[in-house]
């Protein structure tokens, strides 16, 4: 008499289930989401790098920025 494998359900990890259910649309969506994440990080760094920092030594003319700094 043949014995069947155990009838106990086999638990699979979430990653194994995701890999098995790989679809083209999901791959395209993942690529788009990761691309937007990288793009937003680059834009954030670019905005921070181009931020003006008021300095008192930049020019001798008093500007609004130096007025605000000197009052605080």
- 45-65 tens-digit pLDDT: 999 988 877 776 665 555 565
Asked if residue 9 is part of any domain, the answer here is: no
Q: Kindly report the pTM of this predicted structure.
A: 0.44
Q: 63: which DSSP letter?
A: -
Question: How far is residue 12's CA from residue 20's CA, in Å, rounded to a whole number?
Answer: 11
Q: Which residue range forms the structural domain that includes residue 55?
A: 23-71
Q: What confidence score (pLDDT) does residue 34 get?
A: 95
Asked if residue 6 is part of any domain, the answer here is: no
Mean pLDDT score, 3-15: 70
Asked if residue 67 is part of any domain, the answer here is: yes
């Amino acid at each position: 008499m043949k014995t069947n494998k155990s009838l106990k359900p086999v638990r699979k990890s979430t990653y194994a289930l995701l890999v098995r259910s790989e679809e083209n649309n999901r791959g395209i969506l993942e690529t788009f989401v990761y691309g937007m994440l990288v793009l937003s990080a680059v834009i954030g760094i670019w905005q921070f790098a181009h931020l003006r920092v008021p300095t008192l030594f930049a020019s001798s003319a008093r500007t609004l920025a130096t007025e605000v700094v000197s009052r605080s």
